Structure 1
């Protein structure tokens, strides 16, 4: 459920920016039937309050040589706080790791990895992942095709 502090103008701004972060305050205002000044103030507030974390261009991984996407589950040998934090601190430094989640269940972490090919993945596993603190078991799943990849969250009850 959306935060109760957000009104329809706020959610409208967030919806529009999720789909095109290049929209100017003027364009946002036109689409939301508001003037530039209140739109500017609201965008600033949404940034300051952390609703908008950052702006980014979404790249095609195949066009930049990172077309092989791998989800790797990692189970650590030790589950003490210092072991979990040490692994996490090191794995997030790897440029191939695009996302890292501490998970419940049989595995401790789920990584989304973007690489060029199987040789690069082998190098990553053998020379970077397997030497991290307390790594026990790893299980990898290679993406064969992508049916949906959404970066925008649905906001509000009904659209």
Structure 2
């Protein structure tokens, strides 16, 4: 591993460890070691290092939103007043139904991914967003079906 201009340079072993963990974060170190032909201690140290330098942000379970009652997904474009944009972002971050917030260039100030329980719940969320001081307008795209959604990052 080496760092250059903010990007961490990973060797083939680090990349393979990351691929394995992204497929299943519960893969035992012994299994990773066996697959890669290295010791468990080496796997442990590399994962610890990848975590400490921020390449691995956290280990988490990926939950199917529909199976836990979040049946509605929407993408919302928000136009915000430039003078109040930072405060708008802080207010949006507080809303648990908003699962992703992107600062973007173009037509919108920010794009949001929202997971709601129902259409009525989505309407309430939109009302709450509209009430934030500095929000000038929103445009909502209701997701009909998910074609691809993959949290893994290609590490080649």
TM-score > 0.5, shorter chain as reference:
yes
Aligned length: 150
How far 1:138 sits from its partner (Å)? 0.2
- Paired with 1:4 and 1:96, the residues of 2 have a C-alpha distance of 32
**SS at 1:42 equivalent:** helix
For CA contacts below 8 A with separation 6 or more, give which structure has more relative contact order: 1
Q: Which residue of 1 aligns with 2:53?
A: 49
Unaligned ranges ≥5, structure 1: none
1:39 matched to 2:61: no
Shift of the 16–136 alpha-carbon distance from structure 1 to 2, 3 Å rule, reads same
Equivalent residues in 2 for 1:1-159 (5 A)? Answer: 3=7, 5-76=9-80, 78-80=81-83, 83-126=84-127, 128-156=128-156
How far 1:4 sits from its partner (Å)? 6.2
- Paired with 1:4 and 1:95, the residues of 2 have a C-alpha distance of 31
Which 4+ stretches in 1 moved above 6 angstroms? none
Aligned alpha-carbon RMSD (Å): 1.1
Unaligned ranges ≥5, structure 2: 1-6
Name whichever structure is richer in strand by fraction. 2
Give the alignment's TM-score, normalised by structure 2: 0.92
How far 1:11 sits from its partner (Å)? 0.4
